[in-house]
Amino acid sequence: MAMSSNWSLSSSFQTLTPSKPKAKPLLLRRGIGKKAIAMSLSQETAASGLQVVEGNGGLPKVSLSSIHGSKAEIYLFGGCITSWKLANGKDLLFVRPDAVFNGKKPISGGIPHCFPQFGPGAMQQHGFGRNMNWSIAGSENNEGDPIVTLELKDDPYSRSMWDFSFQALYKVTLNSKSLSTVLTITNTDKKPFSFSTALHTYFRASVEGASVKGLKGCATLNKDPDPSNPLEGKEEREVITFPGFVDCVYLNAPNELQLDNGLGDTITIRNKNWSDAVLWNPHLQMEACYKDFVCVENAQIGNIQLEPEQSWVAEQYISAD
């Protein structure tokens, strides 16, 4: 497995043969009416802290509930986690007030997928993973904490932009004070392909009091003031704040960052095999809501190349104190 990029990047990658789903996938296909979608789950699955319910716009939504009181919501459209609540009811994720739940436009908020392209490029912004329908490939429960695995495969829509066969598995685990994800991308084609990806996480915040620690010393690609021509640099600050427009890539970022959301929470963001990080706040470009969130994203900016039957795996673990 090789990685190609316009920049000099270094990281280690895992290869594995993905395990078979533990349950028959609950399929949600493009072009099928919302009311015609079969969303029946076995009693065993429903009792495991997982339910599929109708969400905004009639879109199917996976609801996770831990016996410890925490909750999470995941829309099958885009495989997008839109809510992560602690036992006290506080939601640490943010969905923009202009978010559209129509099964066409990506959901603006929560944890959208950028796949198989991060940012602008040959296909639409951030690729197609965030505006395709995922299916439920399996679920389980670990001592009262629910786990669900979503699956995305190529179809005519994806191949119209990116002519490869692939499988994406997204395992989401809800604990009392943490939310973890494992993303596995597998090349199911007969030819190699390359991709970039990110988890575009929106954290609820008071932007004036929000700050991030852990990025000092990283090489940076700063898209302020010219997004089309990022400035190369080096992060010198111990504590990074959001005084205005922020759109910056941090190359070869550490495996742990800390976000003070300005609302009394310290959120630790750990990762395995996400090589880079991105900080983003649109400031006055989104005047209605920019004060209420910051994006701290785990990303793989440089292209990963997978040979047939190879897989790439990356993990994210976010916890709150």
CB neighbourhood size of 75 (10 A): 24
* Cα radius of gyration rounded to whole Å, the chain: 19
Q: Is the pLDDT of residue 43 over 90?
A: no
**What is the C-alpha to C-alpha distance for residues 197 and 172, in angstroms, rounded to an integer?**
17
Q: Is the pLDDT of residue 18 over 70?
A: no
Q: What angle do CA 232, 255, 302 make, to 5 degrees?
A: 45
Residue 131 pLDDT level (bands cut at 50, 70, 90): very high
* 297 is known as an active-site residue: yes
Cβ-proximal residues to 71 (8 Å cutoff; 6+ apart), any chain:
63, 64, 65, 83, 84, 85, 174
Percentage of the chain modeled with pLDDT above 90: 81
Q: Is the pLDDT of residue 202 over 80?
A: yes
- 257 burial (CB, 10 Å; 0-12 / 13-18 / 19+) is buried
- Token couple for 51: 């339910």
Q: Is the pLDDT of residue 157 over 90?
A: yes
Cβ-proximal residues to 181 (8 Å cutoff; 6+ apart), any chain:
81, 111, 170, 171, 172, 173, 199, 315, 316
CB 4 within 8 A of CB 13: no
Residue 46 pLDDT level (bands cut at 50, 70, 90): low
The order of strands in the sheet holding 178-187 is 135-142, 145-153, 166-174, 178-187, 311-320, 266-272, 256-260, 211-213, 239-241
pLDDT at residue 11, rounded to an integer: 32
CB neighbourhood size of 300 (10 A): 27
Marked catalytic residue, from 297, 307, 309, 315: 297
Q: Which CATH architecture has domain 2-320?
A: Distorted Sandwich (2.70)
Residue 230 half-sphere exposure, CB side, CA atoms within 13 Å?
Answer: 19
Cβ-proximal residues to 156 (8 Å cutoff; 6+ apart), any chain:
none
Query: pTM value?
Result: 0.88
Marked catalytic residue, from 73, 126, 200, 315: 200
**What is the C-alpha to C-alpha distance for residues 234 and 271, in angstroms, rounded to an integer?**
21
Cβ-proximal residues to 163 (8 Å cutoff; 6+ apart), any chain:
none
CB 80 within 8 A of CB 103: no
Q: What pLDDT digit, counting tens, does each position of 54-101 carry?
A: 999 999 999 999 999 999 999 999 999 999 999 999 999 999 999 999
**What is the C-alpha to C-alpha distance for residues 64 and 154, in angstroms, rounded to an integer?**
26
Query: Which residue type is seen at 37?
Result: I
Which whole number is the average pLDDT over 19-42?
41
CB 79 within 8 A of CB 172: no
**What is the C-alpha to C-alpha distance for residues 212 and 260, in angstroms, rounded to an integer?**
6
What DSSP assignment string belongs to 106-139? PP-BSB-EEBS-SSSSSSSTTBSGGGSB-EEEEE
- Map out the domains of the chain as residue ranges: 2-320
pLDDT at residue 228, rounded to an integer: 82
